[in-house]
């Protein structure tokens, strides 16, 4: 699901080589599973987490188009930022130069879905994040009472995200890693599409 489109990097460093790692910020409420996502990608296994007080960061080469065994890959520089309420004002300093955002949502936590929606809309409305692609990860889909994708799309009001914000909603289970590579593949495609559009716009000027 998605509406499918930094280049802050591109505008600051027009000669940025294509192998440069993409700057990706992982956001979401506390306990959504952000750190589990990061370490699942990094170590290819489940790592027990503790609440993140500052941030965790990892550079990871991710296979594209078909997951493991695929010949195409991209380097992602992930920033996993603490999601507790008192830490959320810091998100902005991490997203300033982001090529893409990963917004992790706990699919079981229907009580805090409104809060997740508010934070997602707040961060995507910031002037500096206009047009930055967002991968919304509907995490913990392994749990029996997880909400469906359609329910999450509606509760998070994804259709009301800024028109310029490309997004994709990806079901996932970070514990076993299901859906993560597929989601990052979509995020990579949205970033590539946006870069191409920005390049074409620049040429026309
Ligand atoms: P955060 O970094 O967003 O705050 P964490 O969240 O990665 O620390 O994860 C919070 C809790 O959710 C952890 O459990 C973690 O194991 C669990 N979790 C993460 N992803 C999944 C998932 O896909 N399915 C299920 N069932 N649980 C998940 P604890 O027990 O350590 O609090
Ligand atoms: Mg964490």
Where does ligand 1 bind, in terms of residues with CB under 6 Å? Answer: 28, 30-36, 49, 51-52, 83, 104, 139-140, 142-143, 173-175
Distance from Cα 29 to the centre of ligand 2, integer Å: 9
Q: Where are the beta strands (DSSP E) in the chain?
A: 22-27, 55-63, 73-81, 100-106, 134-139, 167-171
Pairing verdict, β 55-63 and 73-81: antiparallel
Ligand nearest to the CA of 140: 1
In the reported structure, the alpha carbon of residue 47 is separated from the centroid of ligand 1 by a whole-number distance in angstroms of 10
pLDDT of residue 17: 46
**What are the phi and psi torsion angles at 204 (to 5°)?**
-65, -30
Question: Can you give 67-82 as a three-state secondary structure string?
Answer: CCCCCCEEEEEEEEEC
Domains of the chain (ranges, CATH numbers):
8-204 (3.40.50.300)
Q: Nearest C-alpha to atom 32 of ligand 1 is from which residue?
A: 31
- Residue 201 CA to ligand 2 center (angstroms) comes to 38
Q: Which atom of ligand 1 is nearest to the CA of 49?
A: 8
Q: Which atom number of ligand 1 is nearest to the Cα of residue 28?
A: 3
Mean pLDDT of all residues belonging to the chain: 90
- Please, which pLDDT band fits residue 201 given cuts at 50, 70 and 90? confident
Report the 10 Å Cβ neighbour count for 167.
26
Cα of 159 to ligand 2 centre, how many Å?
A: 27
Ligand sitting nearest the alpha carbon of 84: 1
Between CA 146 and CA 107 the distance in angstroms is 5
* pLDDT more than 70, % of the chain: 89
Whole-prediction pTM value? 0.91
Residue 203 confidence (pLDDT)? 85
189 and 197 Cβ atoms separated by less than 8 Å: no
pLDDT at res. 11: 42
**Contact present, 4 and 168 (Cβ < 8 Å):** yes
**pLDDT for the residue 166:** 98
**Residue 12 predicted with pLDDT over 50:** no
- pLDDT per position as a tens digit, 112-140: 999 999 999 999 999 999 999 999 999 99
Best residue among 48, 84, 174 to mutate for probing ligand 1, ranked by most atoms within 8 Å of CB: 174
Q: Is 162 helix (H, G, I), strand (E, B) or coil?
A: coil
Nearest CA owner, ligand 1 atom 29: 49
Backbone phi, psi, residue 43, to 5°:
-105, -5
């Amino acid at each position: 699901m998605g509406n499918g489109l930094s280049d802050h990097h591109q505008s600051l460093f027009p000669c940025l080589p294509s192998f440069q790692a993409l700057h990706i910020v992982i956001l979401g409420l506390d306990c959504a599973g952000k750190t589990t996502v990061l370490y699942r990608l990094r170590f290819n296994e489940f790592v027990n987490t503790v609440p993140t007080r500052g941030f965790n960061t990892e550079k990871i080469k991710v296979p594209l188009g078909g997951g493991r065994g695929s010949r195409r890959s991209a380097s992602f520089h992930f920033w996993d930022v603490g999601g507790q309420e008192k830490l959320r004002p810091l998100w902005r300093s991490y997203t300033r130069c982001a090529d893409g955002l990963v917004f992790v949502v706990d699919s079981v936590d229907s009580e805090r879905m409104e809060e997740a929606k508010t934070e997602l809309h707040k961060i995507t409305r910031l002037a500096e994040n206009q047009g930055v692609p967002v991968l919304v990860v509907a995490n913990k889909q392994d749990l029996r009472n997880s909400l469906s994708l359609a329910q999450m799309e509606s509760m998070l009001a994804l259709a009301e995200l800024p028109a310029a914000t490309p997004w994709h909603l990806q079901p996932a289970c970070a514990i076993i890693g299901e859906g993560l590579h597929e989601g990052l593949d979509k995020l990579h495609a949205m970033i590539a599409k946006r870069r191409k559009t920005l390049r074409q716009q620049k040429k026309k000027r």
